Amino acid sequence: MATFHIPGVALGIVENGTVTMRAFGVTNVDDPLPITTHTVFPIASISKTIAATAMMRLVEQGRVDLHAPVRKYLPDFRVQDEGVSRDVTIWHLLTHTSGWEGQVAPPGAAWSYNNAGFSVAGRVIETVTGHSINAAIRDLVFTPLGLEHAGTNPAEFLSAPRFALGHFNRGNGPAIPQRPFSPSTSLTAGGVGLCLTDLLTYARFHLGDGTAVNGERVLTKATLDLMKTPQLRKQANDEDIGLPWHLRRVGGVLTAAHGGTLGGHILLLELVPERNFAIGILTNASGGWRLIQDVERAALKSYENATFTMNQAIAHRGLVETLPMVEPLATQPDPAPYLGRYLRPMNAVVVRAERGGVFVQVRPNAGEPPPEMPVRFYGPDRAVVTGGADQGQSIEFVRAPDGRVTWIRVTGRIAVRVEGGA
């Protein structure tokens, strides 16, 4: 916390059913109340697993078909491409494979982190249940699991006994409170808030057989296992996507995780299903991802003797992350197949070769672009940023079925190639 200027952290471990929790630091540097195990944090994209839990309850009840088109439940649903509007399924929504963000890929063609898909999933839940998404999530997940401090809107967060205000870290400077608090605009993509105690209760449920702490059957174990079963490989790295858990093997041990990023909050929930182990880390600063990855990796090593291998490619899990150990290829590939301009609605990504190296730059539609990122390849279609603020982060190139490099994935989101040879 001192190294990365993190004001507050709530940290918990589940080990064979035993829960251990610790709270560190303060809720707000300007009004420093101690963090407790009941302090509410917005959990951002970890909310996607809660949305999927609700959806899978509806699947088990026979009210939703996981592989049915979205239009079965939302007849007026429409995106830019009419074929996609017709064919995209609930499964595509929960696996980040709908191809949206300007329809930069056909459904299922290229894995790309996608908030919009979960927003649509929320509307499906509303339509099927006949309730607002707030009420549906409470009825389907919060109440049966006994999540006492869980909420779905800022009024509920801020009325909790304590709320962890988000903070921004600029460079290596101190944490600055985020005002005003900016909640997620989508409940199912990132709008849930809860405390560490509730988060670990939720983790124990997903490690269990589908019964809640009060003995109520909420899901079958087969469905919980399905949610942690690979649905497809994320191209150009070593991870799979479940429903919607992000799956990787660390030292041969399967982990199922989801992180969250919301302005001044960075968070992680990670399960190790075969070892009945989980870790939850909640931070209230934008630099919290640095603390999270270090603590997560230390915990996996300490508790499970699980460590990453050299050049083990990682993928976006809802929070920024750097490669644990990387050694670029001694002979770098010909950069020509990768060069060019890649487009998505919010920005363009340019890949250039000059000064004896390869550089990637994300160019927003408005404002000054950040500095170019120098990259070197450490595997097929896999590059690592070798300098600057993004050093250690992975960038992946994704090929179409004909073998051409068609997409670039930066921080989990793809852009489609529109010009080559830049």
Q: Are 392 and 327 in contact (CB under 8 A)?
A: no
Tens-digit pLDDT string for the chain (422 aa): 999 999 999 999 999 989 999 999 999 999 999 999 999 999 999 999 999 999 999 999 999 999 999 999 999 999 988 989 999 999 999 999 998 776 888 898 899 999 999 999 999 999 999 999 999 999 999 999 999 999 998 888 888 889 999 999 977 788 999 988 888 999 999 999 999 999 999 999 999 999 998 888 999 999 999 999 999 999 999 999 999 999 999 999 999 999 999 989 999 999 999 999 999 999 999 999 999 999 999 999 999 999 999 999 999 999 999 999 999 999 999 999 999 999 998 899 999 999 889 999 999 988 888 899 999 999 999 999 999 989 999 999 999 999 999 999 999 999 999 988 54
Nearest partner of 31 among 49, 52, 48, 8, judged by Cα: 8
φ, ψ for residue 29, nearest 5 deg: -65, -20
* 46-83 pLDDT, tens digit each: 999 999 999 999 999 999 999 999 999 999 999 988 98
Question: How far is Cα 244 from Cα 225, in angstroms, rounded to an integer?
Answer: 12
What residues contact residue 167 under an 8 Å CB cut-off, 6+ apart?
7, 29, 175, 176, 177, 178, 264, 284, 285, 286
Give CATH 3.40.710.10 domain extents, the chain: 1-320
Question: How far is Cα 236 from Cα 223, in angstroms, rounded to an integer?
Answer: 28
CATH architecture of the region 1-320: 3-Layer(aba) Sandwich (3.40)
The distance from CA 260 to its chain's CA centroid, rounded to whole angstroms, is 6
Residue whose structure tokens are 């997620």: 184
Question: How far is Cα 196 from Cα 263, in angstroms, rounded to an integer?
Answer: 19
Question: How far is Cα 419 from Cα 400, in angstroms, rounded to an integer?
Answer: 15
Give CATH 2.40.128.50 domain extents, the chain: 336-420
Helix 196-207 × helix 47-60 angle, to 10°: 40
What residues contact residue 308 under an 8 Å CB cut-off, 6+ apart?
250, 251, 297, 324, 325
Q: Are 282 and 44 in contact (CB under 8 A)?
A: no
* 136-189 pLDDT, tens digit each: 999 999 999 999 999 998 888 888 889 999 999 977 788 999 988 888 999 999
Nearest partner of 345 among 116, 11, 74, judged by Cα: 116
Question: How far is Cα 190 from Cα 193, in angstroms, rounded to an integer?
Answer: 9
| CATH code for the structural domain at 336-420 | 2.40.128.50
Residue 128, token pair as written in the block: 């099927």
Q: Are 43 and 319 in contact (CB under 8 A)?
A: no
